[in-house]
Amino acid sequence: MSTQPSIQHSVLAAPATPAASLAAKPVTASKKILVLGATSGIAEATCRIWAAEGASLFLVARNAEKLAAVAADLKVRGAQYVDTAVADLDDTAKHPELLAHAINSLTGLDIAYLAHGVLGEQSAAEADFEVAAQIFHTNLTAPVSLLTWLANFFVQRHSGVLAVISSVAGDRGRKSNYVYGASKAGLSAFLGGLRNRVDREGVTVLTIKPGPTKTAMTASMKGSEKFADVNVVAKSIVAAIAAKKDTLYVPFQWQPIMFIIRNIPEQVFKKLNL
Amino acid sequence: MPQTTLSPEAETPAAETQAAVTHPAASSGPASSGPVPFESWGRYPTYKAKVVPLNWQGDFPGVAAGIHNGALPVGMGRSYGDVCLLKDGNLLLTTGMNRLLDFDPATGVLTAEAGITLAQILDFAVPRGFFLPVTPGTKYVTLGGAIANDIHGKNHELAGSFGNHVPCFELVRSDGSRRLCSATENPDWFAATIGGMGLTGLITWAQLRLKPIVSRMIDYEGIQFHGIDEFLVLKDQYKHVEYTVAWVDCVSTGRNFARGIFMAGNNAKVPGPLTRTPEPKLSLPFDLPGFLLNRTTVSMFNTVFFHKQIKAHVKTPQDYEPFFYPLDKVLHWNRGYGKNGLLQFQYAIPWEHAKEGTIAILQEIARSGLASFLAVLKTFGDIPSLGMMSFPLAGIMFALDFPIKANISFPLMQRLGDMTREYGGRLYSAKDACMTPEQFKAFYPQWEQFARYRDPLITSSYWERVTGDRSTL
């Protein structure tokens, strides 16, 4: 390509509601939460807690049938408002329209919760670059797109929380899942930098690093019965968002474990079977 | 799948490398789980099976494509014997399907996916002023399991069994067909599936008619009694009380034969707390040695339990948790029976022979010297169950646990089963590990009619044992 592309600013249009009503506080202080990847096990468990608190939710997922079941459940559990959109988040070109629609539907936004991602198949990604590239697209490129739009929206308003599910696997590359791990490492690094940029603007960025958790994504993995209970993980996430934390290892034991793993000398590490 | 390989090995025939990539055994990442033991609550028998988790209503029958050795929908594994087991087969674990789909506070009708537990329903319903219409002695069973075993509770005389409170549900068969089942729509499938032991297909969602309450509390009365006659007198005296049940000492003989405590309660009429139950904290983390349960320790326990209630008659408000679920406080209490597990014996005998049958069976148990903590005596009313294979019948119901002692327990179970048959009663499939095909076919003569509704993919170790039918797989 010979021509330099001009810089497009990733700025979402303001909610369609009239400016006057934006200033007026809503009668009930219902948290407005956008959930991307709402049918993932951890996201659904987290949403159940928010729903019981009477939150307003906008849910995005790929599968319409699953999304409808999750939305019905959250509505029954007490969510004040539930709206949904079926979307493939790999399609980054559609992000601005989707996000603007969500913010309009909720008439504002307090928390954006990014919970979508794929584990991928390590052996396939080792053999075929296209598989690795797809994992990177879903776990890193697509969240970077969403976070750029959302961060710029929150910065304009000087408030908002970006809560993003990364993984302990991103703390150090291991042979058993380094492609997934590298995508999450990139995401964690991006979030660190983004936090450094937007914290002074009143925007919170939470990097969530769950250890292995019992969900549909891990159901077929060996030893999955010993994994963390998804409801315990969800409770910690809700608490960390409320406390405006920066990083959350969950369950908490993963913080010291990953500290040790990060500090094993490479000379030793490369010989280990991890 | 294309390969990113720069060496001449790129010439390898595609099919071969593809197999190497996609075969789970070749993967160092997530591996498909092989057969694992899935325990029933009695922990006898134990069979290995492949556990296939179902998380969505649309997962079945797709996930079952290409499986071998049959499948069986299972929930919390709280039935005692092998009704929730399938040796070397596939267990379709429904507990991930636990969403609430609709609730109408005007009618109390809750619609939920079938893998939701009664504990999860209570967490939702109690703060909204609703309670289960019928509840068993543990809240850790799924909605689907409660329908499939057509469970009963302490209010059978006034409320019937669980299926009587289920307006409708969806049944999915392995051929992909989906049926809405109710008393008016597909009534034959409705009747076959209630109490159908999971064999007719997968229940994806169901409706349940909850009952309104104004408090968590139960107005409780506990009354000591000696012997079956006194029990029957109390039962008549308290027939206006919704929940009634009795604990019986099966170890003592002579003057203390069949002594027990009659427990009665109503949901409190005075408005009180409607809070959620906190999570249980106690769990028995390992197996106790089996010898801990012997005649001496159990008779000590029974004496303490009998006299714990110091007065012969106690009247007090009690929370619903200890009233309905005294044992749920200790998760995995079944490990107290040691690694051999336990057997449960539970019968219903019709009124005609209920009293003589119960006395004869209690005498036989006391004679056997096999200790048991938990003997429960109650009466079933005459509200007919909707299920073709439902257990309850109007008369006396009795249940107790036995530790497993190879040379004593099994012949005793056989004798007790035969005695139940002689007195015109039947045993409860959800608790059984010992019924012979002859006994089963006598207890449930309608079994052949029921068998026509079984899904060809679905079977259980129980079904194969009691029908002697292994031809299906």
pLDDT class of B167 with cuts at 50, 70, 90: very high
Predicted pLDDT of residue B191: 98
In angstroms, the separation between the Cα of residue B233 and the nearest Cα of chain A is 45
Q: Please give the residue that has the higher pLDDT: either A227 or B300.
A: A227
pLDDT class of B220 with cuts at 50, 70, 90: very high
Q: Which residues of B touch A221 (CB under 8 A)?
A: 30-31, 33
The mean-pLDDT minimum among A224-233, B23-32, B421-430, B447-456 falls in B23-32
pLDDT class of B5 with cuts at 50, 70, 90: low
Q: Which residues of B touch A65 (CB under 8 A)?
A: 56-58
Query: Where do the structural domains in chain A lie, given as residue ranges?
Result: 27-269
In angstroms, the separation between the Cα of residue B302 and the nearest Cα of chain A is 37
Give the pLDDT confidence of A218-232 residue by residue, as tens digits. Answer: 766 677 777 888 999
Mean per-residue pLDDT of chain B? 88
Residue numbers of the domain that contains B418: 217-436
Most trustworthy range by pLDDT among B41-55, B291-305, B306-320: B41-55
Predicted pLDDT of residue B26: 28
pLDDT class of B258 with cuts at 50, 70, 90: confident
Which residue on chain A is closest to B53 by alpha carbon? A219
Q: Please give the residue that has the higher pLDDT: either A250 or A20.
A: A250
Determine the residue among A40, A123, A174 to mutate to test chain B binding: the one whose Cβ has the most chain B Cβ atoms within 10 Å.
A123
Is residue B12 scored above 50 in pLDDT? no
The answer to whether A70 contacts B99, with C-beta atoms less than 8 Å apart, is yes
The answer to whether B21 contacts A128, with C-beta atoms less than 8 Å apart, is yes
Is residue B440 scored above 80 in pLDDT? yes
Confirm whether B241 is domain-assigned. Answer: yes
In angstroms, the separation between the Cα of residue A123 and the nearest Cα of chain B is 6
> What's the CATH number where B341 sits?
3.30.70.2520
Q: What is the ipTM of this complex?
A: 0.87
Phi, psi of A249 (to 5 degrees): -90, 130
The answer to whether B100 contacts A72, with C-beta atoms less than 8 Å apart, is yes
Q: Please give the residue that has the higher pLDDT: either A252 or A115.
A: A115
In the predicted model, what is the mean pLDDT of residues B413-439? 97
Is residue B117 scored above 80 in pLDDT? yes
In the predicted model, what is the mean pLDDT of residues A163-181? 95
The mean-pLDDT minimum among A88-92, B158-162, B304-308, B318-322 falls in B304-308
Confirm whether B447 is domain-assigned. Answer: no
pLDDT class of B372 with cuts at 50, 70, 90: confident
Q: Which residues of A touch B59 (CB under 8 A)?
A: none
Which residue on chain A is closest to B102 by alpha carbon? A76
The pLDDT > 70 percentage for chain B reads: 89
Give the pLDDT confidence of B41-60 residue by residue, as tens digits. Answer: 888 999 999 999 999 999 99
CB-CB contact of B408 with B370 (8 Å): yes
d(CA A255, CA A249): 6
In the predicted model, what is the mean pLDDT of residues B4-8? 56
Q: Which residues of A touch B58 (CB under 8 A)?
A: 65-66
pLDDT class of B106 with cuts at 50, 70, 90: very high
Q: Which residues of B touch A177 (CB under 8 A)?
A: 29
Note whether B53 contacts A: Cβ–Cβ < 8 A. Answer: yes
Pair of tokens at residue B447: 């079994």
Is residue B391 scored above 70 in pLDDT? yes
Predicted pLDDT of residue A73: 98
Note whether B10 contacts A: Cβ–Cβ < 8 A. Answer: no
Note whether B104 contacts A: Cβ–Cβ < 8 A. Answer: no
A27-269 domain in CATH 3.40.50.720?
yes
pLDDT class of B21 with cuts at 50, 70, 90: very low
Mean per-residue pLDDT of chain A? 91
Which residue on chain B is closest to A65 by alpha carbon? B58
The 3-state DSSP class for residue A142 equals: helix
Q: Which residue has the tokens 């006057």?
A: A20
The mean-pLDDT minimum among A174-183, B23-32, B196-205, B248-257 falls in B23-32
Is residue B293 scored above 60 in pLDDT? yes
- CA angle B227/B230/B233 to nearest 5° reads 150
The active-site residue out of A113, A178, A180, A249 is: A180
d(CA B218, CA B14): 69
In angstroms, the separation between the Cα of residue B303 and the nearest Cα of chain A is 40
Is residue B113 scored above 80 in pLDDT? yes
Pair of tokens at residue B107: 């009618």
d(CA B246, CA B264): 8
Determine the residue among A66, A70, A136, A174 to mutate to test chain B binding: the one whose Cβ has the most chain B Cβ atoms within 10 Å.
A66
The answer to whether B28 contacts A175, with C-beta atoms less than 8 Å apart, is yes
Cβ-Cβ pairs closer than 8 A, A with B, add up to: 81
The mean-pLDDT minimum among B100-109, B202-211, B332-341 falls in B332-341
The answer to whether A220 contacts B33, with C-beta atoms less than 8 Å apart, is yes
The answer to whether A127 contacts B32, with C-beta atoms less than 8 Å apart, is no
Give the pLDDT confidence of A10-52 residue by residue, as tens digits. Answer: 888 766 554 444 444 444 579 999 999 999 999 999 999 999 9
Is residue B224 scored above 60 in pLDDT? yes
Give the pLDDT confidence of B63-93 residue by residue, as tens digits. Answer: 999 898 999 999 999 999 999 999 999 999 9
Give the pLDDT confidence of A87-102 residue by residue, as tens digits. Answer: 999 999 999 999 999 9
- pTM of the model as a whole: 0.89
Which residue on chain B is closest to A72 by alpha carbon? B101
Q: Please give the residue that has the higher pLDDT: either B203 or A17.
A: B203
Active-site annotation holds for A81: no
Note whether B3 contacts A: Cβ–Cβ < 8 A. Answer: yes
In the predicted model, what is the mean pLDDT of residues A150-158? 97
Q: In terms of Cα–Cα distance, which of B48, B94, B32, B64 is closest to B175?
A: B64
pLDDT class of B469 with cuts at 50, 70, 90: confident
The answer to whether B22 contacts A119, with C-beta atoms less than 8 Å apart, is no
Indicate the residue of A123, A131, A216 with minimum beta-carbon distance to B28.
A123
Indicate the residue of B1, B31, B32 with minimum beta-carbon distance to A124.
B1
CB-CB contact of B42 with B80 (8 Å): yes
Predicted pLDDT of residue B17: 30
In angstroms, the separation between the Cα of residue A157 and the nearest Cα of chain B is 36
d(CA A143, CA A116): 9
Phi, psi of B417 (to 5 degrees): -65, -45
Predicted pLDDT of residue B288: 73
Determine the residue among A215, A220, A227, A235 to mutate to test chain B binding: the one whose Cβ has the most chain B Cβ atoms within 10 Å.
A220
Q: Which residues of B touch A130 (CB under 8 A)?
A: 2, 4
Could you give the number of structural domains in chain B?
Answer: 1
